[in-house]
Amino acid sequence: MRIPGFFKPHIRIWNSVSLSTLSVIGNGEFDGSICCLSFSKADGGSYLCAIDETSDHNISIWDWQKSDRGTKVTETKCSVDTVVCAEWHPLERNQIVSCGKGHVSFWSLDNGGMLYKRMGVFESRDKPRYVTCVAFNQNGDVLTGDSNGNIIVWARAMLGHTEEVWGLAAHPTLPQFATAGHDRLLQMWDSLSHTVVWSKDIGEQAQSIAFSPDGNIIVVGCVSGKWLAIDSETRELYTHHSDGSEPIQVVQFSPDGTLLALGSRDNYIYIYQVNEDATKYSRVGRCMGHSSYITHLDWSADGQCLRSNSGDYELLYWNPGVCRQIPQSSTLRNVDWATHTCVISFETIGIWPEGADGTDVNNCTRSGDGKLLATGDDFGKVKLFSHPACQPKVVY
């Protein structure tokens, strides 16, 4: 909107009773006039959403009560098509719905001020020329009206990943878990409320993730061969390294958190020394001996041994302190392993069905009490075995 005396588009907020000006925000920051405004509802109107009429119809979020001119929290592109409406969700304080020419968009504002968008899909319905208005029912479902004369009810949805998810790790002490994938998003989830705690665009396609033993750090292995160490609460990037140019397939901290192992698609396992607060990493070396890419890694409970599987079904053992292979594998049969993710080992002989080709079982994990072993396979089945499963064809 343009107000006499001001040369550029801005937003003016008024007291609805006295008609006095409370705040003038965005003066000099908008390149086009403002077409949509909405105060947040679930928190009493602390934030203001604005969409302008530039070619990208930028959407911006303002903490309008912070300073005389307000503070912009974030801004991103909304749509190249006309936008006619934007509304905050009345129950979800971080959710916004916008609509316009041929579209309805569902936005999520994370705790760090980043906006993420999901597009509504009309499926079997004829896509309307315009979605003209938005409302909400008492359950929090979104209702839209459109140029076809339809009112559509959109069930409440969670903003997740938009491409393949390759990394999944449970927090060691909290009811939370982290996911990462090829959409370049790292997301922390609350497993009790089933909501996103935060999201971060890491700028790289992610292939694997792991928490440090205390849960303070998340290490993300990327498709490019780069890996990142990120604070699990603040999302601060502490450091990044590159090991080769192939995807980092698997990452694992030693039980005491002093060493980090990264298995790559280039057939190597890279070992790093970790400083006390897990913010700095010094490369010890690389374990060479596999003839195919690394698929799984496990540390011994004392952190003195490492075992690994590869794409050609090898099981090898390592001394991680010197990055040397331990050839006498029979001497390690009774080692106590901190984790059990290797699908090929002495303890997993019985999980393989007759005629399996070595790729049928994709992953496994041991229960916290060490009594059960769960597997996931190519046939969409999750099987539960007694642990260890040392005998062939054990019952599951």
Per-residue pLDDT tens over the stretch 107-163: 988 777 888 888 888 877 789 999 999 999 988 889 999 999 999 998 766 667 878
Share of the chain residues as helix, strand and coil, in percent rounded to the nearest 5: 5, 45, 50
Q: How confident is the model at residue 263 (pLDDT cuts 50, 70, 90)?
A: very high
Residue 223 CA to residue 248 CA, distance in Å, equals 6
Asked if the model's pLDDT at residue 6 lies above 60, the reply is no
Q: How confident is the model at residue 7 (pLDDT cuts 50, 70, 90)?
A: low
- Architecture per CATH, domain 11-154, reads as 7 Propeller (2.130)
In b/e form, how buried is each residue of 334-372, taking b as 16+ CB within 10 angstroms?
eeebbbbbbbbbbbbebbbeeeeeeebbeebebeeeeee
Q: Quick count: other Cβ atoms within 10 Å of Cβ 84?
A: 17
Mean pLDDT of 318-347: 91
pLDDT at 200: 86
pLDDT at 136: 93
Alpha-carbon distances, residue 364 vs 116, 259, 341, 385 (angstroms): 33, 23, 5, 10
Sign of CA dihedral 106, 166, 255, 372: positive
The residue extents of the domains of the chain are 11-154, 165-339
**SS3 category, 388:** coil
Residue 230 CA to residue 283 CA, distance in Å, equals 18
Strand 151-154 to 131-136 pairing:
unpaired
Say if CB 206 and CB 218 are below 8 A apart.
no
User: What's the CATH code, domain 165-339?
Assistant: 2.130.10.10
Q: Quick count: other Cβ atoms within 10 Å of Cβ 3?
A: 13
Give the chain's largest Cα–Cα span. 85
Spell out the residues 6+ positions from residue 344 whose beta carbon is closer than 8 angstroms to its own. 296, 309, 313, 314, 315, 358
Cα 374 to chain centroid, rounded? 24
Which is more confident, 276 or 84?
84
Spell out the residues 6+ positions from residue 211 whose beta carbon is closer than 8 angstroms to its own. 169, 170, 171, 172, 178, 217, 218, 232, 253
Spell out the residues 6+ positions from residue 55 whose beta carbon is closer than 8 angstroms to its own. 80
Q: Which two tokens stand for residue 143?
A: 């209702």
Strand 259-264 to 248-253 pairing:
antiparallel
Spell out the residues 6+ positions from residue 157 whose beta carbon is closer than 8 angstroms to its own. 106, 118
Write down the mean pLDDT value for the chain: 90
Asked if the model's pLDDT at residue 360 lies above 60, the reply is yes
Give the amino acid at 371.
K
Let me know if the fold of 11-154 is the same as that of 165-339: yes
Q: Which of 156-165, 280-289, 325-334 is the least confident region?
A: 156-165
